[in-house]
């Protein structure tokens, strides 16, 4: 008797969801990244009960054409790439066409959108994997996604959810990290109806530094050095904390590759080496660094949640980072310590 059976589509989506949707903050990450990809200038995130009861993201981006709405929640359907070649040059945050399909398979889900140039908005709902037909709705240009009762149909996952405060803290941390990557976008976060964080669009460097201070602490600007250096097709900018302002934990380290927060071995090693002779053992530097390079020089398709990347020229990237940081930190060796705001 044959025992191998194809899995039902709904189960496939739930399994796929397991890879990227670990907790409420993972939903927020996927949805806010979609808003960013849609060119939003303003993103509102409303959370209830640490995200377990409600996650609602509203943006003023380009919206979704009415005919595309059902495809938006279909798996492996995306507007961001068309070919393998596109994948090699991908500049958007998303490209897997999986997030909405995954999220909508593990929650009660609604998507309302008005596309640019349309005068009506439409709303679709997915409940228990069943897609309801699109209905006209009220909505300004842009998109709203509502995710209710996360994991209501996945008890095993629900059991792993932590206290409301903990889950909300994860969401807040995530939003801060996204906000650091996109200074020009306004972010608003509320919890249980109360505004928690309002990050106004940063129009110039001074405003960008204020946003950095909001995330890394008021004292950070005065305790950091500005970096802005380009060579060999690589551009590194941002702020590195002075060794004297190091921390006991590595929790204030933000490294972005083409706008994407990554954890990378090569990067971590280069940073550690650059700080090696100015930092006491067991201390961790604080930094916000942005590395920009040709998207073809970095593979982002390494991990479903895209926290990891692979540089095509690892050595080159490593040495560039090390040299640039080492040189800037040399100022602190020479004893000329000045803050980025000085």
Tell me the C-alpha distance between 241 and 220, whole Å: 7
From residue 317, alpha-carbon distances to 255, 312, 326 in Å are 13, 9, 14
26 lies in the binding site for Mg ion (CB under 5 A): no
Q: Who's near 319: CB < 8 A, 6+ residues apart? A: 270
With CB under 5 to 8 Å by kind, the binding choice for 167 among Mg ion, ligand ADP, none is none
Identity of the residue, 66 or 304, whose beta carbon is nearer to Mg ion in the bound complex: 304
Under rule CB under 6 A, which residues in 111-150 are in contact with ligand ADP?
143
With CB under 5 to 8 Å by kind, the binding choice for 72 among ligand ADP, Mg ion, none is ligand ADP
48 contacts 101 by C-beta, under 8 angstroms:
no
34 lies in the binding site for Mg ion (CB under 5 A): yes
34 lies in the binding site for ligand ADP (CB under 6 A): yes
The encoded tokens of residue 56 equal 């609602």
Q: Interacting stretch for ligand ADP, rule CB under 6 A, among 14-22, 94-102, 168-176, 323-331?
A: 94-102
105 lies in the binding site for ligand ADP (CB under 6 A): no
- Helix (H) or strand (E) segment spanning residue 147: strand 142-148
Q: Interacting stretch for ligand ADP, rule CB under 6 A, among 77-85, 198-206, 234-242, 278-286?
A: 77-85
Q: Are strands 142-148 and 54-59 parallel, antiparallel or unpaired?
A: antiparallel
Tell me the C-alpha distance between 262 and 251, whole Å: 14
* Phi then psi dihedrals of residue 41, to 5 deg: -110, -10
With CB under 5 to 8 Å by kind, the binding choice for 253 among ligand ADP, Mg ion, none is none
* CB of residue 241 to Mg ion, shortest distance in Å: 32
Tell me the C-alpha distance between 36 and 43, whole Å: 8
252 lies in the binding site for Mg ion (CB under 5 A): no
Alpha carbon 54 to its chain centroid, in Å, reads 19
107 lies in the binding site for ligand ADP (CB under 6 A): no
Identity of the residue, 95 or 287, whose beta carbon is nearer to ligand ADP in the bound complex: 95
How many residues bind to Mg ion according to rule CB under 5 A?
Answer: 3
Tell me the C-alpha distance between 31 and 152, whole Å: 19
310 lies in the binding site for ligand ADP (CB under 6 A): no
CA dihedral 203, 208, 214, 219 (to 10 degrees): -140
Q: Interacting stretch for ligand ADP, rule CB under 6 A, among 95-103, 125-133, 195-203, 250-258?
A: 95-103
Tell me which of 16, 27, 64, 107 binds ligand ADP, using CB under 6 A: 64
The encoded tokens of residue 231 equal 């060579």
Which residues lie near Mg ion (CB under 5 A)?
34, 94, 99
Point out which residues bind ligand ADP (CB under 6 A). 30, 34-35, 38, 59, 61-64, 72, 78-80, 94-101, 143
């Amino acid at each position: 008797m044959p025992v191998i059976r194809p899995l039902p589509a709904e189960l496939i989506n739930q399994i796929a969801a397991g890879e990227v949707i670990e907790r409420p903050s993972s939903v927020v990450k996927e949805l806010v990244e979609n808003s960013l990809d849609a060119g939003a200038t303003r993103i509102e995130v409303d959370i209830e009960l640490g995200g377990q009861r409600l996650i609602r993201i509203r943006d003023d981006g380009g919206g979704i054409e009415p005919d595309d709405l059902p495809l938006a929640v279909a798996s492996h359907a995306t507007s961001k790439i068309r070919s393998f070649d596109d994948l090699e040059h991908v500049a958007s945050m998303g490209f897997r066409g999986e997030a909405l399909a995954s999220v909508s398979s593990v929650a009660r889900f609604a998507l309302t959108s008005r596309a640019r140039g349309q005068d009506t908005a439409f709303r679709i709902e997915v409940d228990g994997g069943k897609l309801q037909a699109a209905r006209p709705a009220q909505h300004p240009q842009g998109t709203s996604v509502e995710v209710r009762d996360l994991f209501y149909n996945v008890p095993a996952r629900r059991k792993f959810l932590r206290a409301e405060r903990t889950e909300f803290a994860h969401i807040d941390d995530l939003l801060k990290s996204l906000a650091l990557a996109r200074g020009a976008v306004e972010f608003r976060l509320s919890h249980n109806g109360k505004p928690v964080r309002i990050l106004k669009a940063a129009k110039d460097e001074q405003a960008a530094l204020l946003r950095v201070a909001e995330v890394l602490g008021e004292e950070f600007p005065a305790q950091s050095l500005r970096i802005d250096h380009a060579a060999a097709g690589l551009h590194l900018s941002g702020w590195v904390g002075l060794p004297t302002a190091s921390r006991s934990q590595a929790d204030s380290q933000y490294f972005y590759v083409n706008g994407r927060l990554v954890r990378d071995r090569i990067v971590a090693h280069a940073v550690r080496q650059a700080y090696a002779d100015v930092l006491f053992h067991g201390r961790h530097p604080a930094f916000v660094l942005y590395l920009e390079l040709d998207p073809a020089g970095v593979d982002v398709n390494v991990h479903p949640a895209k926290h990891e990347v692979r540089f095509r020229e690892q050595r080159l990237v490593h040495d560039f980072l090390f040299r640039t940081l080492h040189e800037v930190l040399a100022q602190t060796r020479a004893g000329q310590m000045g803050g980025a705001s000085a």
